[in-house]
Amino acid sequence: MYRLISQLYPICRSITGDGLRQTLRILQTHIPLEMREVPTGTQVFDWTVPKEWNIRDAYVKNSKGERVIDFGKSNLHVVNYSIPVQGRISLSELKEHLFAIPERPDWIPYRTSYYKESWGFCLSQRQLEALTEDEYEINIDSTLKDGHLTYGEYFLPGNTPDEVLISCHACHPSLCNDNLSGIALAVWLAKHLRGLTRHYSYRFLFIPGTIGAITWLALNEDKLPRIKHGLVLSGVGDAGKLHYKKSRQGSEEIDRAAAHVLQHSGNPYELLEFSPYGYDERQYCSPGINLAVGRLSCTPHGTFPEYHTSADNLEFVYPDKLRESLAVCLEILLVLENNGTFVNVSPKCEPQLGKRGLYRMIGGESDAGVTEMAMLWVLNLSDGRHSLLDIAERSGIRFESIHKAANALREHRLLREKFEFVPTAAG
């Protein structure tokens, strides 16, 4: 994941354009995602697909011809979506189009101007302070014209048409935690899931933030009833603890699965209530869409100084944290995959586990890792009204143990699926 992030880091992405396409093409070397193109001007709910932005070069030169601000050194130096501009201007005119962070004198801010046609440069406070009275040559070699909005979609079919949606934004230029970490995690989740037998179908979206989610939702309303659970992945590689932000309803299966997995992860974590702000959960959880979609992040966006600056770089993201986020995500999905509801077929008193070889525990755990307590809880609460996740929550035992116990009990015909047909003596 970290290697993929390093490979994608230099590309100048935006909500449209070739940087986004180039990014998706690199992802295609890992998973066979489809690239979709939606024309400029397409009406998507209350929004319109914008013009396509592309940039080749940009600079500010002093009168000696030296590039004092150079897009070639960092793509953050240009306000993303800047219109093309050339000319010679004074320092005071130039300063009206410059953005820096006085409190962080070495960092370059990340600024955008998606929905208002303008231009600007971002630079460090030190660079700004070094600019002297002079005549400056400015050049932004960009184009903003009718084209397409591009996004990537990868559909992985399962045994049922019911879907899990995994969504990440892929529209930021050289920023690592914000956008690239979520992309890398989604790609690795897809790679893992490809090799497993899946109950659910999985739909992965690599989209420009906000307008990409709105576009996908507007063009795919027919698919929404199939989406049973979803996760937005963003900012999953920094050193902070994991945060799960609940869906709008707050007590959906995905919310409970995420809370359960984090509670048993052994690492610090925090659960956040839903709010109509943040990443694309804003769109998935808008009232007319109302999907059961939560969000997984490390330190929440906007609450760390590196957010939307050049300091969100390769040093800000850690391979170990990416590994932890991947493990947590996979475990959440495995809870969803395996969360069945069963019926104890021998509910009058405890069935005799010893004669079935289910009671030969040494230190409480058998060779298969099935604990006696997990079996007793599954037998007791499997009355057709409690799912395995219900049982895991009530018992305080990790879902994985509850699931293993249920499997062992099913093998010994002490448990059946809730809707399994069982012939009775009466026929």
Residue 405 Cβ vs Zn ion, minimum distance, rounded to whole Å? 43
Q: Are 78 and 118 in contact (CB under 8 A)?
A: no
- Binders of Zn ion in range 196-225 (CB under 5 A): none
- Name every residue whose Cβ is closer than 8 Å to that of residue 267 and which is 6 or more positions away in sequence: 241, 242, 324
Distances (CA, A) of 183 to 1, 48, 273, 425: 9, 25, 24, 56
Query: Residue 263 forms beta bridges with which residues?
Result: none
Within 157-186, which residues bind Zn ion (CB under 5 A)? 178
With respect to Zn ion, which residue has the nearer C-beta, 307 or 399?
Answer: 307
How many Cα atoms are found within 13 Å in the side-chain-facing hemisphere of 152? Answer: 27
Of 178 and 331, CB closest to Zn ion: 178
Measured from the CB atom, the residue of 158 and 240 that comes closer to Zn ion is 240
Q: How far is the CB of 209 from Zn ion (least distance, A)?
A: 7
The interface with Zn ion within residues 25-44 (CB under 5 A) comprises: none
The CB-of-12 to Zn ion minimum distance in angstroms stands at 15
Place of tokens 């019911």: 162
The torsion angle over the Cα atoms of residues 154, 47, 284 and 54, rounded to 10 degrees, is 40
Which positions from 79 through 98 interact with Zn ion, judged by CB under 5 A?
none
Interface with Zn ion: number of residues (CB under 5 A): 1
CB of 318 to Zn ion, least distance (A): 19
Rounded CA-CA distance 107/125 in Å is 7
Q: Between the CA atoms of 125, 128, 130 and 132, what dihedral angle is there, to the nearest 10 degrees?
A: -160
Instruction: Name which of 186 and 381 has its Cβ closer to Zn ion.
Output: 186
Quick count: other Cβ atoms within 10 Å of Cβ 23? 23
> Which residue of this chain has its Cβ atom nearest to Zn ion in the complex?
178
Q: How far is the CB of 167 from Zn ion (least distance, A)?
A: 14
Closest distance to Zn ion from the beta carbon of 323 (Å): 23
| Least distance in angstroms from the C-beta of 308 to Zn ion | 6
Contact (CB, 8 A) for 30 and 97: no
DSSP characters over 15-81: SSSHHHHHHHHHHHTTS-PEEEEEETT-EETTEE---EEEEEEEEEE-TTS-EEEETTT-GGGB-BT
Nearer residue to Zn ion within complex by CB, 168 or 335:
168
Q: Name the minimum Å distance from CB 236 to Zn ion.
A: 13
Nearer to Zn ion (CB atom), residue 178 or residue 238: 178
Question: Which CB atom, from 252 or from 280, has the smaller least distance to Zn ion?
Answer: 280
Q: To the nearest whole angstrom, how small is the minimum distance from the Cβ of residue 111 to Zn ion?
A: 11
Q: Give every CB contact of residue 301 below 8 A, 6+ residues apart in sequence.
A: 178, 234, 235, 278, 279, 307
> Quick one: 178 or 281, whose CB is closer to Zn ion?
178
- 312 touching Zn ion, by CB under 5 A: no
Residue 423, burial from CB neighbour count under 10 angstroms (0-12, 13-18, 19+) = exposed
Closest contact distance (angstroms) between CB of 44 and Zn ion is 20
Smallest CA-to-CA distance from 332 within 381, 386, 271 is with: 271
**Residue 178 or 337: which CB sits closer to Zn ion?**
178
Q: Minimum Å distance from CB 301 to Zn ion? A: 6
290 token code pair: 């109302």
Nearest CB to Zn ion, comparing residues 10 and 32: 10
Q: Which is nearer to Zn ion, 302 or 357 (CB)?
A: 302
| Measured distance CA(352)–CA(347) in Å, rounded | 11
Task: Specify the DSSP class assigned to residue 224.
Answer: G
For the beta carbon of residue 291, count every other beta carbon within 10 angstroms.
23
**Contact residues for Zn ion (CB under 5 A)?**
178
